[in-house]
Protein backbone atom coordinates (compact mmCIF):
# COMPACT_ATOMS: atom_id res chain seq x y z
CA UNK A 1 0.00 0.00 0.00
CA UNK A 2 0.95 3.63 -0.59
CA UNK A 3 2.88 4.98 2.33
CA UNK A 4 3.51 1.60 4.01
CA UNK A 5 7.11 0.43 4.85
CA UNK A 6 8.73 -2.31 2.78
CA UNK A 7 8.77 -5.85 4.22
CA UNK A 8 11.96 -7.02 5.98
CA UNK A 9 14.55 -8.78 3.78
CA UNK A 10 14.75 -12.63 3.94
CA UNK A 11 17.95 -14.11 5.29
CA UNK A 12 18.74 -15.95 2.00
CA UNK A 13 22.32 -14.49 1.78
CA UNK A 14 23.43 -15.76 5.23
CA UNK A 15 25.99 -18.76 5.44
CA UNK A 16 24.44 -22.17 5.85
CA UNK A 17 24.80 -23.74 9.29
CA UNK A 18 27.38 -26.61 9.46
CA UNK A 19 26.91 -29.43 11.98
CA UNK A 20 29.50 -29.62 14.81
CA UNK A 21 30.68 -33.15 13.94
CA UNK A 22 31.48 -32.14 10.38
CA UNK A 23 33.51 -29.17 11.58
CA UNK A 24 35.66 -31.35 13.89
CA UNK A 25 36.38 -33.84 11.10
CA UNK A 26 37.46 -31.07 8.72
CA UNK A 27 39.91 -29.68 11.29
CA UNK A 28 41.55 -33.08 11.77
CA UNK A 29 41.99 -33.63 8.04
CA UNK A 30 43.53 -30.19 7.62
CA UNK A 31 45.95 -30.81 10.51
CA UNK A 32 47.15 -34.10 8.99
CA UNK A 33 47.75 -32.56 5.61
CA UNK A 34 49.70 -29.71 7.14
CA UNK A 35 51.91 -32.13 9.16
CA UNK A 36 52.61 -34.26 6.09
CA UNK A 37 53.67 -31.21 4.09
CA UNK A 38 56.06 -30.18 6.86
CA UNK A 39 57.69 -33.65 6.98
CA UNK A 40 58.10 -33.77 3.21
CA UNK A 41 59.58 -30.31 3.05
CA UNK A 42 61.99 -31.06 5.91
CA UNK A 43 63.23 -34.29 4.31
CA UNK A 44 63.67 -32.63 0.94
CA UNK A 45 65.42 -29.71 2.55
CA UNK A 46 67.83 -32.00 4.45
CA UNK A 47 68.69 -33.98 1.33
CA UNK A 48 69.24 -30.79 -0.57
CA UNK A 49 71.41 -29.25 2.12
CA UNK A 50 74.06 -32.03 2.40
CA UNK A 51 74.26 -34.21 -0.73
CA UNK A 52 78.05 -34.58 -0.32
CA UNK A 53 77.71 -35.94 3.21
CA UNK A 54 75.09 -38.47 2.16
CA UNK A 55 77.21 -39.56 -0.81
CA UNK A 56 80.26 -40.15 1.40
CA UNK A 57 78.21 -42.16 3.87
CA UNK A 58 76.73 -44.28 1.10
CA UNK A 59 80.17 -44.86 -0.38
CA UNK A 60 81.51 -46.04 2.99
CA UNK A 61 78.58 -48.39 3.42
CA UNK A 62 79.08 -49.90 -0.02
CA UNK A 63 82.82 -50.34 0.58
CA UNK A 64 82.18 -52.09 3.91
CA UNK A 65 79.60 -54.36 2.32
CA UNK A 66 82.09 -55.30 -0.40
CA UNK A 67 84.78 -56.11 2.14
CA UNK A 68 82.40 -58.18 4.20
CA UNK A 69 81.22 -59.96 1.11
CA UNK A 70 84.76 -60.81 -0.04
CA UNK A 71 85.79 -62.05 3.42
CA UNK A 72 82.66 -64.10 3.77
CA UNK A 73 83.20 -65.64 0.35
CA UNK A 74 86.81 -66.55 1.18
CA UNK A 75 85.77 -68.04 4.50
CA UNK A 76 82.98 -69.96 2.84
CA UNK A 77 85.40 -71.31 0.19
CA UNK A 78 87.88 -72.68 2.71
CA UNK A 79 85.10 -74.13 4.83
CA UNK A 80 83.93 -76.09 1.79
CA UNK A 81 87.30 -77.83 1.45
CA UNK A 82 87.20 -81.59 2.09
CA UNK A 83 88.64 -82.64 5.43
CA UNK A 84 91.65 -84.38 3.85
CA UNK A 85 92.54 -81.36 1.72
CA UNK A 86 92.18 -78.97 4.67
CA UNK A 87 94.46 -81.22 6.72
CA UNK A 88 97.04 -81.17 3.90
CA UNK A 89 96.94 -77.36 3.78
CA UNK A 90 97.45 -77.14 7.54
CA UNK A 91 100.32 -79.63 7.38
CA UNK A 92 102.29 -76.96 5.49
CA UNK A 93 102.26 -74.63 8.50
CA UNK A 94 105.89 -74.39 9.66
CA UNK A 95 105.61 -73.79 13.41
CA UNK A 96 103.75 -75.12 16.41
CA UNK A 97 102.47 -71.60 17.05
CA UNK A 98 100.75 -71.56 13.66
CA UNK A 99 99.21 -74.95 14.33
CA UNK A 100 97.92 -73.77 17.71
CA UNK A 101 96.30 -70.70 16.17
CA UNK A 102 94.72 -72.76 13.39
CA UNK A 103 93.38 -75.26 15.89
CA UNK A 104 91.60 -72.47 17.71
CA UNK A 105 89.48 -71.43 14.72
CA UNK A 106 86.82 -74.09 15.14
CA UNK A 107 86.30 -77.70 16.10
CA UNK A 108 86.57 -78.72 12.45
CA UNK A 109 89.92 -76.97 12.13
CA UNK A 110 91.13 -78.54 15.35
CA UNK A 111 90.36 -81.99 13.97
CA UNK A 112 92.08 -81.02 10.72
CA UNK A 113 95.20 -79.91 12.62
CA UNK A 114 95.33 -83.24 14.43
CA UNK A 115 94.90 -85.06 11.13
CA UNK A 116 97.66 -82.97 9.54
CA UNK A 117 100.04 -84.14 12.26
CA UNK A 118 99.78 -87.67 10.93
CA UNK A 119 102.12 -86.78 8.05
CA UNK A 120 104.70 -84.91 10.12
CA UNK A 121 108.14 -86.41 10.75
CA UNK A 122 109.32 -83.69 13.14
CA UNK A 123 107.48 -81.92 15.94
CA UNK A 124 109.00 -79.22 18.14
CA UNK A 125 107.46 -77.55 21.18
CA UNK A 126 110.56 -75.43 21.77
CA UNK A 127 109.68 -71.78 22.35
CA UNK A 128 106.06 -72.49 23.28
CA UNK A 129 104.16 -72.66 26.56
CA UNK A 130 103.10 -76.26 26.27
CA UNK A 131 101.46 -78.35 28.97
CA UNK A 132 101.28 -82.10 29.52
CA UNK A 133 97.84 -82.65 27.99
CA UNK A 134 98.44 -80.57 24.86
CA UNK A 135 101.82 -82.13 24.13
CA UNK A 136 100.54 -85.67 24.66
CA UNK A 137 97.46 -85.10 22.48
CA UNK A 138 99.52 -83.75 19.57
CA UNK A 139 102.20 -86.44 19.81
CA UNK A 140 99.54 -89.16 19.81
CA UNK A 141 98.14 -87.67 16.60
CA UNK A 142 101.59 -87.64 14.91
CA UNK A 143 101.68 -91.35 14.13
CA UNK A 144 104.64 -91.05 11.70
CA UNK A 145 106.78 -88.87 13.95
CA UNK A 146 110.55 -89.47 13.98
CA UNK A 147 111.97 -86.38 15.71
CA UNK A 148 110.45 -85.02 18.94
CA UNK A 149 111.79 -81.82 20.51
CA UNK A 150 110.36 -80.80 23.89
CA UNK A 151 113.30 -78.65 24.91
CA UNK A 152 112.79 -75.97 27.50
CA UNK A 153 113.00 -72.41 26.16
CA UNK A 154 112.97 -68.90 27.52
CA UNK A 155 109.16 -69.07 27.60
CA UNK A 156 109.13 -72.25 29.64
CA UNK A 157 107.82 -75.63 28.55
CA UNK A 158 105.61 -76.94 31.33
CA UNK A 159 106.20 -80.66 30.70
CA UNK A 160 106.37 -82.92 33.75
CA UNK A 161 106.67 -86.66 34.39
CA UNK A 162 102.92 -86.95 33.84
CA UNK A 163 103.33 -85.55 30.33
CA UNK A 164 106.18 -87.95 29.48
CA UNK A 165 104.13 -90.88 30.73
CA UNK A 166 101.20 -89.85 28.52
CA UNK A 167 103.52 -89.33 25.54
CA UNK A 168 105.06 -92.78 26.06
CA UNK A 169 101.70 -94.37 25.15
CA UNK A 170 101.73 -92.78 21.67
CA UNK A 171 102.07 -95.14 18.71
CA UNK A 172 104.98 -93.17 17.27
CA UNK A 173 107.31 -93.57 20.26
CA UNK A 174 108.69 -96.89 19.05
CA UNK A 175 109.73 -95.24 15.77
CA UNK A 176 111.33 -92.11 17.22
CA UNK A 177 114.97 -91.70 16.24
CA UNK A 178 115.58 -88.40 18.06
CA UNK A 179 114.27 -87.03 21.37
CA UNK A 180 115.27 -83.77 23.05
CA UNK A 181 114.27 -83.13 26.66
CA UNK A 182 116.93 -80.52 27.26
CA UNK A 183 116.48 -78.31 30.31
CA UNK A 184 113.15 -79.72 31.50
CA UNK A 185 113.39 -79.08 35.22
CA UNK A 186 110.02 -80.70 35.90
CA UNK A 187 110.98 -84.24 34.85
CA UNK A 188 112.68 -87.00 36.82
CA UNK A 189 113.67 -90.62 36.31
CA UNK A 190 110.01 -91.63 36.63
CA UNK A 191 108.92 -90.00 33.38
CA UNK A 192 112.18 -90.50 31.47
CA UNK A 193 112.34 -94.23 32.17
CA UNK A 194 108.74 -94.64 31.02
CA UNK A 195 109.46 -92.82 27.75
CA UNK A 196 112.83 -94.27 26.73
CA UNK A 197 111.76 -97.81 27.63
CA UNK A 198 109.51 -97.75 24.55
CA UNK A 199 111.85 -95.78 22.25
CA UNK A 200 113.51 -98.84 20.71
CA UNK A 201 114.65 -97.01 17.56
CA UNK A 202 116.23 -94.06 19.35
CA UNK A 203 119.56 -92.87 17.92
CA UNK A 204 119.96 -89.37 19.38
CA UNK A 205 119.00 -88.31 22.90
CA UNK A 206 119.43 -84.87 24.46
CA UNK A 207 118.68 -85.04 28.14
CA UNK A 208 121.07 -82.36 29.37
CA UNK A 209 120.14 -79.91 32.09
CA UNK A 210 117.79 -82.32 33.86
CA UNK A 211 117.85 -84.07 37.23
CA UNK A 212 118.11 -87.65 36.00
CA UNK A 213 120.23 -90.27 37.73
CA UNK A 214 121.83 -93.56 36.76
CA UNK A 215 118.33 -95.09 36.73
CA UNK A 216 117.50 -93.26 33.51
CA UNK A 217 120.84 -94.21 31.91
CA UNK A 218 120.22 -97.87 32.75
CA UNK A 219 116.82 -97.66 31.04
CA UNK A 220 118.46 -96.12 27.97
CA UNK A 221 121.13 -98.80 27.97
CA UNK A 222 118.57 -101.61 28.14
CA UNK A 223 116.09 -100.26 25.58
CA UNK A 224 117.98 -98.01 23.15
CA UNK A 225 120.73 -100.24 21.84
CA UNK A 226 120.86 -98.30 18.54
CA UNK A 227 121.84 -95.07 20.29
CA UNK A 228 124.54 -93.08 18.46
CA UNK A 229 124.78 -89.86 20.49
CA UNK A 230 123.68 -88.62 23.88
CA UNK A 231 123.95 -85.22 25.59
CA UNK A 232 124.28 -85.36 29.37
CA UNK A 233 125.41 -81.77 29.86
CA UNK A 234 125.11 -80.71 33.49
CA UNK A 235 123.44 -83.95 34.60
CA UNK A 236 125.06 -83.72 38.02
CA UNK A 237 123.37 -86.77 39.53
CA UNK A 238 124.78 -89.22 36.97
CA UNK A 239 127.77 -91.25 38.15
CA UNK A 240 130.55 -93.20 36.48
CA UNK A 241 128.63 -96.43 37.00
CA UNK A 242 125.74 -95.17 34.88
CA UNK A 243 128.10 -94.12 32.08
CA UNK A 244 129.85 -97.49 32.07
CA UNK A 245 126.51 -99.31 31.83
CA UNK A 246 125.49 -97.07 28.94
CA UNK A 247 128.68 -97.56 26.92
CA UNK A 248 128.73 -101.30 27.61
CA UNK A 249 125.26 -101.92 26.15
CA UNK A 250 125.00 -99.21 23.48
CA UNK A 251 127.72 -100.56 21.23
CA UNK A 252 126.87 -98.14 18.41
CA UNK A 253 127.41 -95.08 20.57
CA UNK A 254 129.66 -92.62 18.75
CA UNK A 255 129.50 -89.40 20.77
CA UNK A 256 128.74 -88.42 24.36
CA UNK A 257 128.60 -84.90 25.86
CA UNK A 258 129.54 -84.85 29.52
CA UNK A 259 130.15 -81.13 30.11
CA UNK A 260 129.24 -79.85 33.56
CA UNK A 261 128.98 -83.30 35.14
CA UNK A 262 130.52 -84.21 38.48
CA UNK A 263 132.25 -87.29 37.10
CA UNK A 264 136.05 -86.77 37.26
CA UNK A 265 137.74 -86.66 33.83
CA UNK A 266 139.98 -89.63 34.61
CA UNK A 267 136.88 -91.82 34.84
CA UNK A 268 136.38 -91.50 31.09
CA UNK A 269 139.51 -93.51 30.41
CA UNK A 270 137.54 -96.62 31.32
CA UNK A 271 134.87 -95.69 28.76
CA UNK A 272 137.48 -95.57 26.01
CA UNK A 273 138.73 -99.00 26.96
CA UNK A 274 135.20 -100.25 26.26
CA UNK A 275 134.69 -98.23 23.05
CA UNK A 276 137.96 -96.82 21.66
CA UNK A 277 136.22 -94.86 18.87
CA UNK A 278 133.95 -93.00 21.30
CA UNK A 279 134.10 -89.19 21.07
CA UNK A 280 133.80 -87.52 24.45
CA UNK A 281 132.96 -83.83 24.38
CA UNK A 282 133.42 -80.97 26.87
CA UNK A 283 136.10 -82.44 29.11
CA UNK A 284 137.96 -79.57 30.77
CA UNK A 285 141.38 -81.19 30.62
CA UNK A 286 143.02 -84.27 29.22
CA UNK A 287 144.61 -86.56 31.77
CA UNK A 288 145.40 -89.32 29.31
CA UNK A 289 146.95 -88.93 25.88
CA UNK A 290 144.66 -91.61 24.53
CA UNK A 291 141.52 -89.77 25.60
CA UNK A 292 139.66 -88.58 22.51
CA UNK A 293 137.89 -85.26 22.85
CA UNK A 294 136.32 -82.87 20.39
pLDDT digits (tens, 9 = 90+) for 91-115: 767 666 777 777 777 777 777 777 7
Q: Which domain holds residue 188?
A: 121-281
The stretch 160-175 carries a mean pLDDT of 96
For residue 106, tell me if it sits in a domain: yes
For the chain, the farthest-separated pair of C-alpha atoms sits apart, in whole angstroms, at: 175
For residue 93, tell me if it sits in a domain: yes
What is the per-residue pLDDT for 118? 86
Coil/strand/helix, residue 123 = strand
User: How far apart, in whole angstroms, are the C-alpha atoms of residue 97 and residue 138?
Assistant: 13
pLDDT tens-place string over residues 169-213: 999 999 999 999 999 989 999 999 999 999 999 999 999 999 999
Q: Is the domain of 110 the same as that of 253? A: no
For residue 174, tell me if it sits in a domain: yes
Select from 60, 87, 119 the last residue of a domain. 119
For residue 40, tell me if it sits in a domain: no
3-state SS string for 78-119: HHCCCHHHHHHHHHCCCCHHHHHHHHCCCHHHHHHHHHHHHH
For residue 63, tell me if it sits in a domain: no
**How many contiguous H segments (helices) and E segments (strands) does the chain have?**
11, 7
Q: What is the CA radius of gyration of the chain?
A: 43
pLDDT tens-place string over residues 231-278: 999 999 999 999 999 999 999 999 999 999 999 888 888 899 999 999
Q: How confident is the model at residue 8 (pLDDT cuts 50, 70, 90)?
A: low
Which CATH number goes with the domain that contains 103? 1.20.1280
- Does the structure show a pLDDT above 60 at 72? no
Q: How many domains does the chain have?
A: 2
pTM passes above 0.75: no
User: How far apart, in whole angstroms, are the C-alpha atoms of residue 102 and residue 110?
Assistant: 7
Q: Is the domain of 96 the same as that of 211? A: no
Select from 86, 119, 152 the last residue of a domain. 119
Which CATH number goes with the domain that contains 242? 3.80.10.10
Q: Is the domain of 134 the same as that of 263? A: yes
- Does the structure show a pLDDT above 70 at 74? no
Q: How confident is the model at residue 165 (pLDDT cuts 50, 70, 90)?
A: very high
Coil/strand/helix, residue 7 = coil
Coil/strand/helix, residue 231 = strand
What is the rounded average pLDDT for all residues in the chain? 77
- Does the structure show a pLDDT above 60 at 133? yes
Q: Is the domain of 264 the same as that of 158? A: yes
Select from 85, 119, 153 the last residue of a domain. 119
Amino acid sequence: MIGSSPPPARPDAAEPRIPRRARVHSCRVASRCTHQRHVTVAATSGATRSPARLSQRRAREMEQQQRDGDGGAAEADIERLPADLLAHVLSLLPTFRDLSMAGGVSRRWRRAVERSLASRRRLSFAGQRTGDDTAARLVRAAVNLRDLDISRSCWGCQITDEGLIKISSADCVGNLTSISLWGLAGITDKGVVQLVSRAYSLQHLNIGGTFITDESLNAVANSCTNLKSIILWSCRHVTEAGLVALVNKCRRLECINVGGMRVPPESFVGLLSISPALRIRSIPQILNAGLQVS
